[in-house]
Structure 1
Amino acid sequence: MTSTERIAIGAAALLGVVACAGAAGPAAASHAATPAADATGAAECTLRVPTPDDAERAEPGDVVCFTADLADERLVITHGGTAERPITYAGDGAAVDGITIEADHVVVEGYRAERPEAPGVVMEGDGITLRGVTVTSPEGGDGDGIRFFGDELRILDNVVTDTENTEGRHADCMQTYSDDSPPSRNVLIEGNRCEGVDNMGLMAEGPNDGEGDGEGTTSDFVIRDNWFETLDASQALMFEDVQNVTITGNTFAAPTHHAIGLAIGSTGAHVGENEYDPGIGYEVGIDESSLPGYEGPEPGGEP
């Protein structure tokens, strides 16, 4: 695209000609100069393209909207921006058959996935934000709602409902591990809702949990202001070989045996100001290897 074309299209966007239209719109790409925020705080589209294959033309800072109907396709994101100017992929409520993110410095927001192939969402990369996404009844595999791997990850204001432990699954709302995948570091999990989840709200395993040959360190999680309804697990949150976890302001809404488990060197955990269902046996279970640096309620027993 020439500079003259970009300026002309940018001027049209400022006049309101270019707007995010969800799954409707022209087949050709439209590119605006600068994203603007609407009344809800969502950014308007600066690039409209039919499918994710056409998103390679996106530039750092763009807000990409897809004009094709992707309800029967898995949304696969492979093109990212920069740390200072991530590329945003805005769904505006559009349906997709699950999401896979394999890119750095992207924001993926506003999609819904009903009965996608599990995991409903997979995030792998650095500087990824997943925001305002709904995953309902993921099917197959282990039945997980969201899996994440990488550094500087943000999982914000998403909803995962009805994960099922049928056919031997361990259907968690969210999960990370390091067997054959990168460790996860600097992770913020905030404002999410895990509802009707058969297994755990979060299962987090580091590379030295004894189950794989992972390398690196899984560490520095902040888990706050989430709502966990876990129906068929001993605990809502479980950490193995995950260091420096802060767990605060969450609601544990189901009567699990205990709310939080810390094991296999999950040191430096800080726990406080959470709300617990009265049927929960005790708030925190911890093993001896995870005691160094722990701050929080008196542990009630083993994790």
Structure 2
Amino acid sequence: MVTDAVSMSAAINSALPGDTICVRGTIADKRLVIKKSGNQGAPIKIVGDGQAVVHGISVDGDYVSISGLNSVDPNAPGISLSGSNITLENSTSISPRGEDGDALRFWGNNITIRHNTMRDTKNLNGAHADCMQTFATDQGHLASQHVLIDSNRCEEIDNTCLIMEGPHSLAGDGSGVGASSDVTFTNNYCQNNASEALQIDDVQNLTITNNNVAGNNDHAFALQNLTTGAKVSGNKLNPAIHFEVGMDDSSAPGYQGPPSGGNP
């Protein structure tokens, strides 16, 4: 059982596929960093009791599972996931600060993000503080595929609940390699203050269903730049939201959902 920074680092550094590391108590001065991989059928599991506190979480590896941990007052991003076959569940990212102020960033394949709470991101000192973000750039960040984002809560978010930028994004710094695709965003609660709850750029085969968008947004979902094959249904919107989907012409192929109400 891990209860302090020294024992946490030692346990993670010696972890092998199939190991479970239990974290208890408050380790407020130490970020949990794991650069190890499990394997299929034997992931490395980092498990808290729902009360355990760390000063941020970073995963850079494959077949890793994180659950029951609270990232409180961390350096942003509060939680960072990079790799394949990663699961983050029943955890929190609260009040991240610094850099771009994001609560969660993720990159890779077969990533599951479910039953987590991200709260209190602030646009301080030029930050663009989102609840969740991924991008594929020439800085070595890979496109994300086969991603499930289910039953999470984004509360008190200054910018978007989810921003995704594929390798050919309009940002102009995309890697140009691969594709960001097969993403399901379902049963989530979004309370944010940007013009839209979701900003999606160059992501194919996206499903957006049964979410509660509670922010005072202009529109709920912005689809642009060949975000084709999107399916949108069953979402509950704040009545103050002007329309559900904003979409450009390039994203229309394969789209299923309410008519576009305007530009993304």
TM-score (norm 1): 0.82
Equivalent position SS for 2:84:
coil
The answer on whether the counterparts of 1:71 and 1:94 sit within 8 Å (CA) in structure 2 is: no
Instruction: Tell me if structure 2 keeps the 8 A contact 1:22–1:94.
Output: no
Change (3 A) 1:281 1:79: same
Bigger relative contact order, structure 1 or 2 (CA pairs below 8 A, ≥6 apart): 2
Q: Determine the structure 2 residue equivalent to 1:227.
A: 189
Q: Distance in 1 between matches of 2:169 and 2:26?
A: 42
The 8 Å contact of residues 122 and 146 in structure 1, kept in 2 or not, is answered as yes
CA RMSD, aligned part only?
Answer: 1.7
Match of 1:12 in 2: none
Q: Are residue 120 (structure 1) and residue 82 (structure 2) matched?
A: no
What residue in structure 2 maps to residue 54 of structure 1?
Answer: 11
1:241 is matched with which residue? 202
Question: Which structure 1 segments of 5+ residues have no match?
Answer: 1-20, 28-48
**For 1:50, what is the secondary structure of its paired residue?**
helix
Within 1, Cα distance between the matches of 2:120 and 2:26? 25
With 57-66 and 237-246 compared, the bigger mean Cα shift is at: 57-66
Q: How does 1:50-199 map to 2 (within 5 A)?
A: 50-66=7-23, 70-92=27-49, 93-179=51-137, 180=139, 181-199=141-159
Q: Which residue identity is paired with 1:86?
A: P
1:21-40 equivalences in 2 (<5 Å): 23=3
Q: Distance in 2 between matches of 1:103 and 1:74?
A: 16
Report the equivalent of 2:222.
261
SS at match of 1:144: coil
C-alpha spacing 1:276/1:66, structure 2 compared with 1 (3 Å): closer
CA contact (8 A) 1:187 1:222 kept: yes
Looking at structure 2, the residues matched to 167 and 104 of structure 1 have their Cα atoms a distance apart, in angstroms, of 34
Q: Whole-Å Cα distance in 2 between the matches of residues 68 and 158 of structure 1?
A: 19
TM-score normalised by length of structure 2: 0.94
The answer (yes or no) to whether the contact 2:190–2:197 under 8 Å persists in 1 is yes
Per-residue deviation, 1:60 = 2.4
Which 4+ residue blocks in structure 1 deviate beyond 4 angstroms? 66-69
Q: Residues 159, 69 of structure 1: CA spacing in aligned structure 2 closer, same or farther, 3 A cutoff?
A: closer
Distance in structure 2 (CA, Å) of the matches to 1:296 and 1:228: 19
Q: 1:111 Cα shift?
A: 1.0
Deviation at 1:64, TM superposition (A): 1.2
The count of residues paired between Structure 1 and Structure 2 equals 259
Q: 1:165 to 1:106 in 2, by over 3 A?
A: same
2:2–2:21 contact (8 Å) kept in structure 1: no
Structure 1: distance between partners of 2:11 and 2:70: 21
| CA deviation string 1:189-222 (max 9, x = no partner) | 0010000001000000001014214121111100
Structure 2 unaligned regions, length at least 5: none
